[in-house]
Structure 1
Amino acid sequence: MSNKTEDNQYDKIFKENLESVTLALIEKVLQIQVAFYEKINADLQRTVERKPDQLLKITNKEGKIFLLQLEFQLVNEKDMVYRRLESPASP
């Protein structure tokens, strides 16, 4: 099992390299034809601070604007969906 410091190091390296493949991932996986995007630097806070791996404001070719949050994990965490929703039922 890896420690938190090691996980954070890999997370930082991954985030630094993510930008070069972001558009290809969006278009291939989500089938969204991006006309324009801008990176949004945000710290999401509630009781616990959450920093998204990637938060983008997307404008598709039809002119619709939306936010896309990407999260990547070293291991499959069953509660990740709840943490991302930040619902009252979150563990």
Structure 2
Amino acid sequence: MLVALRPSAVTVSTAAPQASSARNTWPATIAGLTLLTDRVRLDLDGRPPVLVDVTPAAVAELDLSPGREVWLSAKAVDLEVYGRTHDDG
């Protein structure tokens, strides 16, 4: 099974989320930041690892930099689940 989500569907927090409707949360460490046209892509080491898109303002406000530990969250409705396919040929 493969689970996927858009990089913009993940919320980044500097502390563990408390009351939230997002049921999927996990800790991660920022491995790198890449400036894209109008956003910054975070490369995050966690279980699972993930790429997340945030605004440049969020990077500044949250003081995001490589090595920083953060919390990630995503709502179940944003997850895309793909089953395995078997080639019987």
Same topology, TM > 0.5: no
Higher relative contact order structure (alpha carbons within 8 Å, sequence separation ≥ 6)? 2
Q: Which of the two has greater helix per residue?
A: 1
Q: Which of the two has greater strand per residue?
A: 2
